[in-house]
Amino acid sequence: MKSHKWFTPWLLVAPGVIWVLVFGLWPFFNTVVLSFTNARPLQAGRFIGLENYARIGSDEQFGYALTTSLIYMVVCIPLLTILPLLVALLVEKTIPWITFFRTTFYFPVIASVVVVALIWSWLFDTKGLINGALEAMGVVDNPVPFLVDRWWLLITAILLTVWKGLGYYMVVYLAALGNSNKELHEAAALDGAGAFQRFLTVTLPAVRGAMVLIMALVAVSALRVFTELQVLSNGTGGPGGQSMSLVMLIKTVGSGLTGNVGYASALSVVLFLITALPLLAIAWMNREKEAKA
């Protein structure tokens, strides 16, 4: 049998390593370096120390963007962790037409978020279908400013995110539920445990791994929210830019021929740190639980 050359393993891992270096590490380190400069497109910029970071502290827009992103995360994590589980429990059962219902719940996932957000912006317009219906039913006298008020805009965008993400996380839970031990359910039922008790003591532990994963994924995507708010607010972030997310702010600051690439890079680094923190916390909590188990 012919032995491998010494470089064979290196050759095998080379595509992956090159990919990570070129598309992951190099842009990241470039972003960190740029964050200490006053670079603009077509201008290399000069080193300005911590000036960009100092500016973040006094930037009113950053305050709004951080608030928006954090609220988005805090609201989306429980909604997109619990609701898909409940839906998965509903569609897990084998009943007639169940495939239709599963497909229906999954359908928003395959629709383009831009198209969906555009449709929602028409629906929630002051002269849109929702306001028309509310006024026709006498629920409101004047149109609800869904798209031109800070909090309404945020609520509308969160609803859109939840509606669109529900089916995706439902599928993750369905996979986890499919692997759960059915005999434990039967044993618990025989021991007199009710449906809610079985949910708490059997179902939840069975899907805990999936739940942690979903919380992590939702935390990342909520902090990175862009398309929903961008389309619903027509790129303005709402009046005062108060409903702007961090990614929207980075895009606004850094894009175009005159974009402030240095400051946008500093914002990106801060977003990196902010994104890492809740994920590390979730991972740490999960580790402690595993250790106890």
Partner 1 sequence: MRRFTGLVTLVASAALALTACTGGGAAPAPAQSSGGGSGKLSGTVKFQSWSLKNETFSPYFEALFASFEKETGVKVEWLDQPGEGYQEKVLAQANSGSLPDVINLPPDIAFPLAKAGVLLDVNAADSSLASTFVPGAWEAYSYPGLTGTFGIPWYLGTDLSWWNGTELKKYGVDTDKLPTTNEELIELAKKVGTESKGKLPVLSSMPTIDLFSSSGVPVMNDAGDFVFNTPQAAAIVDQFRDAYKAGGVPPEALTGDFGGNADNFKAGKVAYTTATSTFATDLAKNAPTIAKGVIATPRIGDAPLFVQGVSVAANSANKDAALAFAKYLTNTANQVAFCKIAVGYMPGTVEGSADTASLSAGVKDELQLKAIGIVVESMKTARVLTPVQWTGAMKTYMDQQLALALKGEIGSQEALDKIVKYANTNKVE
Residue from 71, 89, 101, 125 touching partner 1 (CB under 8 A): that is: 125
**Residue 19 near partner 1 by CB under 8 A:** no
Q: Is 69:82 a contact under the CB 8 Å cutoff?
A: no
Per-residue contact flags (x/-) with partner 1 for residues 48 to 77, judged by CB under 8 A: -------------x----------------
Residue from 43, 103, 104, 179 touching partner 1 (CB under 8 A): that is: 43
Contacts with partner 1 in 166-205 (CB under 8 A)?
none
Residue from 51, 145, 201, 207 touching partner 1 (CB under 8 A): that is: 145
Residue from 71, 130, 193, 279 touching partner 1 (CB under 8 A): that is: 279
Q: Is 167:107 a contact under the CB 8 Å cutoff?
A: yes
Give the C-alpha distances (Å, rounded to integers) separating 250 from 11, 169, 269. 38, 28, 11
Q: Is 243:231 a contact under the CB 8 Å cutoff?
A: no
Q: At what angle do helices 246-254 and 261-292 cross, to 10 degrees?
A: 160
Q: For residue 20, give the 3-state DSSP assignment.
A: helix
Q: What does the block give as tokens for 20?
A: 């990570």
Phi and psi for 148 in degrees, rounded to 5?
-125, 20
Between 37 and 102, CB nearer to partner 1: 37
Q: Looking at 4-12, 99-107, 109-117, 227-235, which segment touches partner 1 (CB under 8 A)?
A: 227-235
Q: Give the C-alpha separation, 220 to 23, whole Å.
A: 19
Q: Is 210:169 a contact under the CB 8 Å cutoff?
A: no
Q: Looking at 84-92, 109-117, 164-172, 266-274, which segment touches partner 1 (CB under 8 A)?
A: 266-274
Residue from 10, 19, 28, 107 touching partner 1 (CB under 8 A): that is: 28
* Min CB(31)–partner 1 separation in Å: 5
Give the C-alpha distances (Å, rounded to integers) separating 23 from 13, 19, 129. 16, 6, 44
Binding site for partner 1 (CB under 8 A): 23-25, 27-28, 30-31, 34, 39-45, 61, 121, 125-126, 143, 145, 147-148, 212, 216, 220, 224, 233-242, 250, 252-262, 264-265, 268-269, 271-272, 275-276, 279-280, 282-284, 286-287, 290
